[in-house]
Amino acid sequence: MNTSHLFKALGRAVVCTSAALGMLGSGGLAHAQIAVGKTKFLGNIIAGNPPGNFSMYWNQVSPENAGKWDAVEPVRDQMNWGQLDAAYNYARSNGFPFKQHTFVWGSQEPKWIGGLSAQQQAHEVEDFIRQYCQRYPQTQYIDVVNEPLHQPASYREALGGAGSTGWDWIVWSFQKARQHCPTAKLLINEYGIINDANALNRYKVIVDILKSRGLIDGVGIQSHYFSMDNLAPATIKQNLDSLAQTGLPIYVSELDMTGDDATQLARYQQKFPALWTHPGVAGVTLWGYIEGQTWVANSHLVRRDGSERPALTWLGNYVRSNPGSGGAANKSIVVRARGTSGQERVTLRVGGTAVQTWTLGKTMTNYTFTTTLSGGSTVEFTNDATGRDVQVDYLSVNGSVRQAESQTYNTGVYQNGRCGGGSGRSDWLHCNGAIGFGDL
Ligand code: 9MR
């Protein structure tokens, strides 16, 4: 069967019954993230150990400092990935998109870079990018260059300097990121854009240079308190409209707003909808939420005792009841499955792309993943051996359950004396093969 036939077959295999929905249970959804199932993500940063309440609120992860070059490589060629591993693994195991922050930036550079020759500097930057991409191949987004207007990299001459485009060092950085991380969405990131049409126009020049070379997939605007606290919603809309003219999705990347409880609440109520409902905005990341753990005082949303400030309670209610517009539909996938030996590996594919692989435990467990991809979905058993079998209970999409035994495409169940030899309908994969769960 060729690929197009396969996906036509998968497309017919969507089944969802109310009986099946009842099996979801009540516990799973009570602690869902604020933007679960929405068309855009609402994320936050992880500083050190992932906070226990992260997944009650947020469904995208950016590392606060752990992905910066000076944190990863404080001593030349001695890489320190520990904290970045923790944030990345947390994101992966919860199915949240992970955004690397950041490859090329004039702050938090390693101190040793200044003493090297230009050739060595370029080599070291590429080495950092290459090693990152090897270690974290499932990264969804990368802030490739941070703050080009305000804090350009000190070693930019080594990367091509201004050159013929005026921004050759940025073009070089994106080329290297594209080469080493070919599946990630590459972003640029800057502050003081949402409130300043002049800076916005200078930013758009860089974005257009990258876009004409096919090197950029989205535009990040930090939107910190000093730009946001006193900004009129009409200006937010006007500047987002202007940035959206680039034709690229906009990511609000480091949002915070300050104030006492009442002031912060009023600010969120007044300004957040202008961001969330803008069709050009594909995702919003807040820059911290826990009291005592935000880079600026009074921007927190959860108090030390775990209680919510009013702005957070409002934000939760607002986003849950507001579909947003634009953005790619963010689908929350659960694969409920078990192995029999505890060594079985299954891969979730969407539209033919392998998006996640899990090693299954011996008891039925929910394995979660969030994706904006569309197309036929399959759960594939890939490492069959003696004593290894997989039982899949269901795949659910935004809480809507598709039972494995109701699907007609199963090439891994042993029927009529061979693998894939019968009707397909089964929750078992005895051999390497896949169950098709229809289109996402
Ligand atoms: O939140 C970060 C803080 O812990 C660091 O001390 C600071 C050092 O530069 O960086 C903060 O994060 C910054 C981000 O990386 C880039 N945009 C501005 C953020 C706030 O300063």
Confidence band (pLDDT; 50, 70, 90) for 398? confident
Annotated catalytic residue: which of 64, 73, 126, 254?
254
d(CA 404, CA 413): 11
Active site residue 147: yes
Strands 365-371 and 414-415: unpaired
Name which residue leads in pLDDT, 48 or 338: 338
- DSSP code of 183? T
pLDDT at 399: 79
Q: Is 380 a catalytic residue?
A: no
With a CB cutoff of 8 Å and minimum separation 6, the contacts of 17 are 401, 403, 406
* Interval 406-421: pLDDT, tens: 999 999 999 999 998 8
**Long-range CB pairs of 152-155, under 8 A, 24+ apart, other chains included:** 152/106, 153/104, 153/105, 153/106, 153/109, 154/106, 154/109, 154/113, 154/114, 155/109, 155/113, 155/114, 155/118, 155/121, 155/122, 155/125
pLDDT digits (tens, 9 = 90+) for 379-392: 999 999 999 999 99
**One-character DSSP codes across 330-342:** -EEEEEEEEESSS
For residues 118 and 128, give the distance between their C-alpha atoms in angstroms, rounded to a whole number.
Answer: 16
pLDDT one-digit tens code per residue, 293-302: 999 999 999 9
CA distance 23 to 378: 21
Cα 259 to ligand 1 centre (Å): 19
Q: pLDDT at residue 20 above 90?
A: no
Asked whether 33 lines ligand 1 (CB < 6 A), one says no
Is the alpha carbon torsion for 133, 152, 76, 120 positive or negative?
Answer: positive
C-alpha span between 298 and 147 (Å, rounded): 24
pLDDT tens readout for residues 350-370: 877 777 889 999 999 998 887
CATH homologous superfamily of 32-329 equals: Glycosidases (3.20.20.80)
> Residue 240 gets which letter from DSSP?
H
User: What atom in ligand 1 is closest to the CA of residue 295?
Assistant: 1
Report the separation in Å between the CA atom of 351 and the middle of ligand 1, taken as the mean of its atom positions: 37
Strands 345-350 and 250-255: unpaired
Average pLDDT value for residue range 268-290: 96
Dihedrals phi, psi of 431, to nearest 5 degrees: -130, 170
Handedness of CA 408, 412, 414, 417 (dihedral sign): positive
CB 392 within 8 A of CB 337: yes
CA distance 380 to 407: 14
With a 6 A CB cut-off, is 313 part of the ligand 1 pocket?
no
Beta strands in 147-225 (DSSP E): 185-190, 218-221
For 32, the enclosing helix (H) or strand (E) is none
pLDDT value of position 375: 81
* Nearest residue (CA) to ligand 1, atom 16: 146
Per annotation, catalytic residue among 109, 147, 190, 291 = 147
Reported as a pLDDT band with limits 50, 70 and 90, residue 374 is: confident
**Phi then psi dihedrals of residue 49, to 5 deg:** -70, 140
Closest CA to 359 of 341, 332, 376: 341
What's the fold here for domain 331-439?
Lipoxygenase-1 (2.60.60)
Residues 6+ apart with CB under 8 A from 117: none
**Ligand 1 neighbour 254 (Cβ under 6 A):** yes
